[in-house]
Amino acid sequence: MLIRPAAPADAHGIAVVHVRGWQEAYRGLMPQAVLDELSITDRADGWRRILEARDHGEEPEGPRSRALVAADPDTDRILGWATYGEPRESGPHGGELWGLYAHPELWSRGVGHALLTAVEESLRADGAGSAYLWVLEGNDRAATFYERHGWIEDGEVKVEERPGLRLHERRRVKLLR
**Mean pLDDT, rounded, for 73-78:** 96
Number of domains in the chain: 1
Buried b (16+ CB within 10 A) or exposed e, 86-110: bbeeeeebbbbbbebbbbeebbeee
Residue-wise pLDDT for 112-152, tens only, equals 999 999 999 999 999 999 999 999 999 999 999 999 999 99
- pLDDT at position 176 is 96
**pLDDT over 90 (residue 169):** yes
Mean pLDDT across the chain: 94
Q: Cα dihedral angle (117, 119, 122, 124), rounded to 10 degrees?
A: -70
CATH code assigned at 122: 3.40.630.30
Q: By residue range, what is the domain housing residue 15?
A: 2-175
Is the pTM of the predicted complex or chain greater than 0.85?
yes
Backbone dihedral angles phi then psi of residue 174, each to the nearest 5 degrees = -150, 135
Mean pLDDT of 38-49: 96
pLDDT at 65: 82
53 torsion bin: left (phi>0), alpha (psi -120 to 50), beta (else): alpha
Beta bridge partners of 70: 3, 80
